[in-house]
Amino acid sequence: MASLYTHQAANIRKTWFLMTGFLVIIVGLGWLMSQLYGNAAILYGAIAFSLFMNVTAYWFSDKIALASTGAKPADENQYRELHRILENLAITAGIQKPRLYIVDDPAPNAFATGRNAKHAVVAVTTGLLARLDRSELEGVIAHELSHIGNRDILVMTVAVVLAGAVAMLTDIFLRISFFGGNNNDNKNPILLIAGIAAIILAPIAAQLIQLAVSRKREFLADASGALLTRYPDGLASALQKISSYGAPMRRANHATAHLFISNPFGAHERGKFIAKIFATHPPVEERVAALTQMRV
């Protein structure tokens, strides 16, 4: 059965795969654009940019993720019970208590971030605190602690920064291609078509790399979290409440969606065909079914 420390080495390898994949995409784009415009400086700039973003993703991705969601440190007096739940479960899990943050948002959700257990953060929304009872809240916190113990958070958080970097770079190249000062008529038509195709397809490739991190991590974190609390029904009930909330989070975006315990775009988004194809989470029904079948 899955344990809290299952697949740690595999997730470290996935982090390197993720960073290498984005490096290849960005350098490939830089090479195409340098050939298209006959300027080697574009390639060198792309290499420097990709290296810079990889370093940034590793060291500062947690701060970027927290800033993008508007999370603030949870006051120990105001959220004393939440701090106590987090501390008790962290002791049970055998890891250092993460920093606790609050996201002022009525949509119930939560996420964990950070490059390792020592620098980890758990963030929950005010909507989560308002809608869940204690056993359900413990299930959610245990799920997030399992992401920390399984070393998922490094993979998940690095993906936020690197996917955003690819999107930003492709947007710049696309604007240069269509609005640049040079005349496109003088360029190699094959390179021009390849360059524009790469610019359009690169963000899709970045999204697929994010999905390659594997939706199975949610099943593993669910199972590990249930083992921590010894009460799978608490997390199962929490997932049902979270997924039934219709409205999206105020600052929901596709770059950080995979960080959350459930889709931050609300129940209405999950019914859309495109949303299903690029879903960052397995169906809630499957997760609940797996939890209800557990014996702890």
User: Could you read off the pLDDT of 89-120 as tens digits, one per residue?
Assistant: 999 999 999 999 999 999 999 999 988 888 89
Strand ranges in the chain using DSSP code E only, listed in sequence order: 72-73, 99-103, 110-113, 121-125
User: Could you read off the pLDDT of 12-24 as tens digits, one per residue?
Assistant: 666 677 677 777 8
- The residue length of the chain stands at 296
Q: Quick check: 263 and 280 in contact, CB under 8 A? A: yes
Among the options 136, 138, 144, 218, which is catalytic? 144
Helix (H) or strand (E) holding 257: none
Residue 236 DSSP symbol: H
Please say if 144 is a catalytic residue: yes
Return the domain boundaries, the chain: 8-60+154-212, 67-152+215-292
| Residue pointed to by tokens 């079914």 | 289
Six-digit token string for 95: 């890891």
How much is the pLDDT for 4? 39
Six-digit token string for 38: 């006959």
How much is the pLDDT for 277? 55
Residue 186 DSSP symbol: G
How much is the pLDDT for 115? 81
How far is it, in rounded angstroms, from Cα 112 to Cα 144? 6
How far is it, in rounded angstroms, from Cα 221 to Cα 52? 31
User: Could you read off the pLDDT of 235-285 as tens digits, one per residue?
Assistant: 999 999 999 998 999 988 777 787 899 989 876 655 554 555 556 688 899
For residues 224-236, average pLDDT = 93
CATH of domain 67-152+215-292: 3.30.2010.10
